Amino acid sequence: MSGPRLTEDELIATCFAPLAGPGGLRLLDDAALITPPADEEIVVTTDALVAGVHFFGDDPPGAIAKKALRVNLSDLAAKGAEPLGFVISLALAPKWEIEWLAAFAGGLGEDAHAYSCPLLGGDTVKTPGPLTLSITALGSVPKGRMAPRTGVQAGDRIYVSGTIGDAAIGLKLRLAEAADAPWRAGLGEQDRAFLLDRFLLPQPRMALRAAMRADARAGMDVSDGLIGDLSKMLKVSGVSATIELARVPLSPAAEAAVRASPDLFEVAVTGGDDYEVLASVDPEAAAAFEVQAQAAGVRVTAIGTARGGAGEPPVFLDFRGEPRQFARGSFSHF
């Protein structure tokens, strides 16, 4: 069975209504209703993904759905926000198939459940172009507790969660150009699978959100590359920083790849799609932040220190303590 045989209403009833939370009004309404928790503020974030630009059109549909939701959840995590729900705009390319859409909705539903972030509503349209998704996620934080991007202060410790560069190296693995790259052959089967999966399926650091609320003066998620995103956060905060590249946490798989092909280090720190959390923490709160992160099961690593110097780009020290320049700070999907 293929093609647009269902009406939009049938499609919604079949595939998406089962995912709706109470605020989604069974998707029978043209709007959703949220009762924000008392004394909380609403955090709103939105991310768009285009087939062939942000994901491979032939990725499993459930994984595409999960990535679209998770990149938004990652923003909420970095802000210390509890998910309230999300809306999705789906522009379907010609010749979409109901099986594809059912699998897409299935993956979306699994994550909506797993992350307690119910579907609130959405819009489904057709496009002569590639599949295009836009998700807007809503979350809540106690008043005044959102970790803003602009809050870095001189003296703060800069932390990053998890490991950096896995997805960017995983993307290289996916691309045909890497098929006969020597470093690819040198990676074990498990390492390859790990890196590919990190590109396919981000792991938003939801477990870190309480620590972000409690102890982070500033936060953002790393989506466009560590170097570029960190530079942005410092710039809008009106400070600079010194970052030690040797401290940037790499997974064993990424380390193996970088060992085989040192150029991949730059890919790792500028390539993007990490969906890890950058946090700027008052040194007096650093111990508490580390304890809370550890208790939440999330590795956080201090990679440097913020300092005064509005407008000065951050200094990235290489393994020998020498400043290192990067040709491009971040991957731009734009």
d(C-alpha 17, C-alpha 9), whole Å: 10
Residues that bind its own copies (CB under 8 A): 4, 7-9, 11, 23, 25, 28-36, 41-50, 52-54, 75-76, 78-79, 81, 85, 87-92, 120-130, 132, 134, 136, 138, 143, 146, 148-150, 220-221, 232, 236, 332-334
CB nearer to its own copies: give 135 or 253. 135
Neighbour tally for 70: CB within 10 Å? 24
Closest distance to its own copies from the beta carbon of 192 (Å): 28
- Give the shortest CB-31-to-its own copies separation in angstroms: 4
Count Cβ atoms below 10 Å from residue 198 Cβ, excluding itself.
25
Cβ at position 283, least distance to its own copies in Å: 24
Strand partners, 141: 41
Helix 189-200 × helix 166-174 angle, to 10°? 100
What is the rounded distance in angstroms from the CA atom of residue 72 to the CA atom of residue 277?
A: 13
Closest CB to its own copies among 136 and 161? 136
Whole-number Å distance between alpha carbons of 112 and 20: 9
Q: How far is the CB of 110 from its own copies (least distance, A)?
A: 22
SS3 187: coil
- Write the DSSP assignment of 275-320 as a string of letters: -EEEEEE-HHHHHHHHHHHHHTT--EEEEEEEES-TTPPPEEE-TT
Closer residue to its own copies in complex, CB, 149/192: 149
Q: DSSP secondary structure string, 220-244?
A: EEESS-HHHHHHHHHHHHT-EEEEE
Task: Tell me the C-alpha to C-alpha distance, in Å, between residue 228 and each of 74, 231, 333.
Answer: 17, 5, 13
Q: Shortest approach of its own copies to residue 288 CB, angstroms?
A: 24
Nearer to its own copies, 8 or 318 (CB): 8
Distance CA 267, CA 241 (A): 21
The least distance separating its own copies from the CB of residue 138, rounded to whole angstroms, comes to 7
Q: Please say which residue, 42 or 286, places its beta carbon nearer to its own copies.
A: 42
CA angle 285, 76, 236 (to 5 degrees): 65
CB of 319 to its own copies, least distance (A): 29
Do residues 160 and 288 make contact, with C-beta atoms less than 8 angstroms apart?
no
Nearer to its own copies, 288 or 331 (CB): 331
Closest distance to its own copies from the beta carbon of 183 (Å): 29
Q: What span, in angstroms and rounded, lies between the C-alpha atoms of 69 and 83?
A: 11
Residue number, 30 or 189, with CB nearest to its own copies: 30
| Closer Cβ to its own copies, 43 or 281, answer by number | 43
CB of 222 to its own copies, least distance (A): 11
Please say which residue, 67 or 79, places its beta carbon nearer to its own copies: 79
Within 8 A by CB and 6+ apart from 122, the residues are: 16, 27, 87, 88, 89, 90
Tell me if 143 sits within 8 A of 41, measured CB to CB: yes
